[in-house]
Amino acid sequence: MSDIRDNRFYSEEHEWALPTEGQIIRIGITDYAQCQLGDIVFVELPEVGSSVTAGDSVGSIESVKTVSELYTPVSGTVVRVNDKLIDAPEAVNSDPYEDGWMLEVEVDGSVEEEIGKLLTPDRYRTVTD
Amino acid sequence: MSQLQRTPLFPFYQKEGGPAARCIDFGGWELPVQFYGIGREHDAVRMKAGLFDVSHMGEFEVSGPQAESFVQQMTTNDVSRLAAGQAQYTLMCYPDGGVVDDLLVYKRSAEHFMLVVNASNIAKDFAWLNVRLPKGAELRDRSETTALLALQGPLSESILSRLADADLAALLPFHFLDGVEVCGKKALVSRTGYTGEDGFEIYCGAADAPHLWEQLLTAGEPDGLIPAGLGARDTLRFEARLPLYGQELSDTISPLEAGLGMFVKLDKGDFIGRDALAEQKTKGLKRKLVGIEMIDRGIPRAHYTVHANDRQIGEVTTGTQSPTLKRNLGLALLDIAHTGLHSEVWVDVRGKMLRAEVVSTPFYKRSKPADKGEKPG
């Protein structure tokens, strides 16, 4: 059973989104996703300041075996990325919801509106079952 | 849709309480890509030991008075150099020098050979051999009834010695013992492998494989032995520069281009592909397989194109981040002009041109160079 946090919202592509403060939403990949990928050895993140639209590929996550795209589940401007993942990509495996977070996006519209398009934890559970 | 084939060990991959094997479709076979994670399994083989189920590999028997001359005609290495109880790495080529398959030839006796071929090529290889079979040689496909376990890593000898009624310490690389009793089951045990480490390959009856698998894992557990999947098998063979058919070798890549010239004995007499390979050698190769290392941040992957002077000079055949060395490495088939050590090349990583350089191979060589048992392919 993979870990699905109740305080987050989810995408079909296995990203999570967590409103932090103001217009900012933090994004990462789920426990289910990291488990499917296996040992993650490389993370490529977008540039701070870049403007992104929900569903865009904004980076890549590489395991020993495969490359997968990182999609942003929300639209806005990238305001921070988790630079620690450059040297310690394994944090995505060990702690996908905390230390393994990937980027923060400042949304243009309301946080509620962006989040409203995503899956609730219960809905996401049905995706991973 | 055809059903995926399974090895006799498949029930273990589903077993409650065991490690969660993740199975994938590997050329029509449902096989475990990993049990505990590729990194952990890779490290176990480099430092202790790992057990692989490679029962999907094909085993053919060639027997009869013409068996040796037939194998000699079909393969690039010199089978006449083998004594009974020895094995060799070799290749089968097309007349144009492209590769049908790479394989191991075991000489069991003067008129009895075993050919071990890649799973994905079993049908093709069998047909290729069968239509060329002379009078006085018989060919049998034993793949269905033969299982193969590979015990690999520096502690393999000590683990297997406790379970086998044979002096394995005295078994040299590329030698084998027939009819060894391992955990009460008859097996053929060879000092070979595909990981760059010391190790053994254990051929047994399909029905005996589950017993051996369980007994080996139990006996080796105190030594740190764990089951390992195809993912680790691939990273291990890659670091040791052992080629994989379909990537470093194919019907359009010759053994010479793949850097396997030492397994092509042009002076042994005629064999299929000889003329084309001799000509390649005389005229000089146009392209060659080399190691590359990324200078820019990125990981090369199979089929990424490689460039220099604004033109494509080849492509990556295998690439990953080396689990042992933590370097972003690839094998690449490149135009000969760009294969010198430290040549600067550019890899198209999903649309971005990233800088890399040609480096020496193998990327990894084990520190005790006793040269025990690896087969390049």
- Alpha-carbon distance of A126 to B78, in angstroms, equals 59
Q: Grade residue B1 by pLDDT with cuts at 50, 70 and 90.
A: very low
**Distance (Å) from the C-alpha of residue B375 to the closest C-alpha of chain A?**
23
Looking at chain B, the number of H-run helices and the number of E-run strands are: 8, 19
Least trusted range by pLDDT, from B19-33, B157-171, B184-198: B19-33
Q: What is the pLDDT of residues B288-321, one digit of tens each?
A: 999 999 999 999 999 999 999 999 999 999 999 9
Backbone angles phi, psi at B162, to 5 degrees: -70, -20
pLDDT score, position B276:
98
- Please, which residues 35-94 of chain A have a Cβ atom closer than 8 Å to chain B? 38-39, 41-42, 44, 60, 62-65, 67, 86
**List of chain A residues whose C-beta atoms are within 8 Å of the C-beta of residue B231:** 38, 64-65
Quick check: B14 pLDDT over 90? no
Share of chain B above pLDDT 90, in %: 90
Which residues, in sequence order, are CB contacts of B315 under 8 Å at separation 6+? B303, B304, B305, B306, B332, B333
Sketch out chain A's domains with CATH numbers.
9-119 (2.40.50.100)
Taken in order B325, B328, A33, A28, the sign of the CA dihedral is positive
- Alpha-carbon distance of B40 to B19, in angstroms, equals 13
Q: Grade residue B247 by pLDDT with cuts at 50, 70 and 90.
A: very high
- Alpha-carbon distance of A44 to A41, in angstroms, equals 10
Q: Grade residue B27 by pLDDT with cuts at 50, 70 and 90.
A: confident
The beta-carbon neighbor of A42 closest among B37, B299, B323 is B299
Which residues, in sequence order, are CB contacts of B113 under 8 Å at separation 6+? B61, B62, B63, B67, B68, B71, B79, B105, B106, B107
- If you average pLDDT over residues B42-47, what whole number do you get? 98
Task: Of B128, B70, B138, give the one whose Cα is nearest residue B99.
Answer: B128
**List of chain B residues whose C-beta atoms are within 8 Å of the C-beta of residue A64:** 38-39, 42, 231, 235, 320-321, 323
Strand partners, B51: B151, B227
pLDDT score, position B376:
54
Strand order in the sheet with A57-63: A40-44, A57-63, A67-71
Quick check: B250 pLDDT over 70? yes
Taken in order B218, B224, B230, B234, the sign of the CA dihedral is negative
A–B interface: beta-carbon pairs under 8 A: 38
Q: Determine whether the interchain pair B321/A38 forms a contact, defined as Cβ–Cβ distance below 8 Å.
A: no
Q: How far is CA B300 from CA A76, A89, B248, B356, in A?
A: 31, 17, 15, 9
Sketch out chain B's domains with CATH numbers.
1-56+143-240+286-377 (3.30.1360.120), 59-139 (3.30.70.1400)
More confident residue, B15 or B346: B346
Strand order in the sheet with A15-19: A9-10, A15-19, A24-29, A103-107, A76-81, A51-52
- Alpha-carbon distance of B248 to B241, in angstroms, equals 10
Q: Determine whether the interchain pair B321/A64 forms a contact, defined as Cβ–Cβ distance below 8 Å.
A: yes
Q: Determine whether the interchain pair B38/A65 forms a contact, defined as Cβ–Cβ distance below 8 Å.
A: yes
